[in-house]
Amino acid sequence: MSFLRRCILLALIVFAGPLLAEPAEQRPVRIGLLAFLDAEAMSRQWKPLLAHLGAALPGQRPVLLQFDHKGLRDAVASGSVDFVITNPGNYVALEMEFGISRIATLDTALAPSPMRAVGSAVIVRADRKDLTKLADLAGRRVAAVGEDAFGGFQVAWREFAQLGLDPYADFAELSFVGLPMRAVTDAVASGRADAGIVRACTIENLPASARAGFRVLSPRAEADFPCQTSTRLYPDWPIATLRSTPPALAKAVARALLAMPATAEGMSWTVPADYQAVHELFRELQTGPYSYLKESTLRAAAVRYWPVVLVLATLLLGWIIYTVRVEHLVHARTAELRQALDERKAIEARMRVHQEQVEHLSRLSILGELSGTLAHEINQPLASISNYAQSLVRRVDSGRLTDAAVREAGSEIAGQAERAAGILARIRGFARKRAAVRERRVLAQLVREAVALFAGMISNRPEIRIDEGAAANCTVEVDPLQIQQVVLNLLKNGLDAMQDLPATERHLLITLERESEGAALRVSIRDFGRGLTPEARERLFEPFFTTKPDGLGLGLSICATIIEAHGGRLSAQAPAEGPGLVFTFALPMHDE
């Protein structure tokens, strides 16, 4: 080998070798996080999310960037992040200012639903007998983390305002002590403050000895919420995209989040929640993104003590021009906000229409699966009508027709016709398309109607037993058709699970009962089929997950959405004894 060739080969090894060996650099996916704890605690809390996104997004490298309120706003303004995870109040402010758009909402095990997860508790020392309700705080010293704390001061401010209390004017002292939240509890415990505003569940997370020293003012009865709260509940934290985020990346992250299994702490993600309640809070308080509502359009002119009239006239003219300009800007901003709100309402209306269409198609799908034996069910009364009619003709021909025979045949013909008409009426009522309407109904009656519809469409129907117990006359406020859709879907799933059993062993058990607290009704539907593995049960309500060869995986997902929209939760578990699977859903009870 010549000297020149050896030199060329050596150069290739030295310069090109590292480039060939170095793997392609992954693209960073920058996630901006509003940090309310120290950096290490926040990183530990969100580590499972980064691990899941890293595994679900090949070629992408998720990076968590922690900010305070101002830092997160600056990052969004400069486009230095791709996604934002923040509290509901900060999200609404960034949405209205920069047009960020939520793609998913946090779903935690503690909250009854993502729509009802964030609230505030106003606490006092347990020995303060002079403080029993929120109205007693007038003229008292109150401590909170900060003005921007949504799950603290801002949520409680709305409740104060509705009682006619202005925290800035009616409290003897309003002090913002900063993070951590322990600073508020320490101020109350030491007597530096008469009351403190903390995020709901803060007191419940204290050790038992420390928890006993506090009491929550004006606790509200929030169904299924495990902690005491002095305020109404608001949606959980969202994750949102910026206008500059590539659509393909946003779609991939949204899909990965919705498929993310719950962490050991019970944290997962669900479809975006409705944050209209947060808009209403800021609009009522005229703060945050709605602070413009209390701005005055007049500005005090600077007083000039110049003796020259010309200067005074010039200042007056400048003041007029400035006032007109500010008025124009305010009107323009108001028009933009109205347009944005109108667009939002239009989008929400379209989403409601699409949801109704999906539910309607789901009902039609159920009917399509069950109606294979409908002809057989209708054929039975028609055959009876035909037999009695032919009997009348034969009796007329043979001269043996009597009034009793006519009466008997007529009664049977009318009864069979009424039976056939009843089957068709139930199917037609279930299949019709209409807007969702809430009514107060007896839950047991709705279950019986769904069972009658199911039984009327199945030829070899299984035995169905209903145990109403003490819940026989209890009422709920629901959309009857949607609840019947859920029951019918669960009955169909139970029937499918028992297809490989002999007909004599197929039976379904429906149990209605009141929960121990008496605030909800629980409905359980059990089959005695082959059951499911724990892994399959965990994914049972995910969209597009199915254990059926020809299934779409949407039926149970739609059922779970319907139950959650009614303030309940749908679950599946193995029975305590024997084979099969038990589906259970609970609905808030509305008895007086």
Q: What is the mean pLDDT of residues 561-570?
A: 87
Can you say whether residue 460 is alpha, beta or left, with left for phi > 0 and alpha for psi between -120 and 50 degrees? beta
> Over 50: is that where the pLDDT of 567 sits?
yes
CATH architecture of 120-216: 3-Layer(aba) Sandwich (3.40)
Highest mean pLDDT among 138-152, 360-374, 488-502: 138-152
Q: Tell me, what amino acid is at 433?
A: K
Q: Tell the residue number behind the tokens 């047991």, with chain if given.
A: 444
> Over 70: is that where the pLDDT of 159 sits?
yes
Which of 60-64, 87-91, 177-181, 463-467 comes out lowest in average pLDDT?
177-181
DSSP string, 362-402: HHHHHHHHHGGGHHHHHHHHHHHHHHHHHHHHHHHHHT---
pLDDT category of residue 336 using cuts at 50, 70 and 90: confident
Per residue in 467-477, pLDDT (tens digit) is 988 888 889 99
* Whether this model's pTM surpasses 0.85: no
Q: In whole numbers, what is the pLDDT of the chain averaged over residues?
A: 82
pLDDT on residue 433: 52
CA dihedral 63, 67, 70, 73 (to 10 degrees): 20
> Would you say 301 and 319 are in contact if contact means Cβ atoms under 8 Å apart?
yes
> Over 70: is that where the pLDDT of 306 sits?
no
> Would you say 295 and 329 are in contact if contact means Cβ atoms under 8 Å apart?
no
Per residue in 95-140, pLDDT (tens digit) is 999 999 999 999 988 888 889 989 999 999 999 999 999 999 999 9
pLDDT category of residue 436 using cuts at 50, 70 and 90: low
Same fold, 27-111+236-282 and 437-592: no
Domain residue limits, the chain? 27-111+236-282, 120-216, 292-365, 437-592
- CATH fit for domain 437-592, picks 1.10.3720.10, 3.40.50.150, 3.30.565.10, 3.20.20.70: 3.30.565.10
The span from the CA of 168 to the CA of 149, in Å, is 16
Relative to beta strand 520-527, strand 581-588 is antiparallel
**Residue 451, SS3 per DSSP:** helix
- CATH fit for domain 27-111+236-282, picks 1.10.1200.10, 3.30.1360.30, 3.40.190.10, 3.20.20.80: 3.40.190.10
Which of 117-131, 179-193, 288-302, 523-537 comes out lowest in average pLDDT?
288-302
CA distances from 494 to 431, 527, 529 (A): 21, 5, 7
Query: What percent of the chain has pLDDT above 90?
Result: 36
> Would you say 442 and 474 are in contact if contact means Cβ atoms under 8 Å apart?
yes
Q: What is the mean pLDDT of residues 247-276?
A: 91
Alpha helix segments (H runs only) across 259-308: 276-285
Q: What is the mean pLDDT of residues 263-274?
A: 89
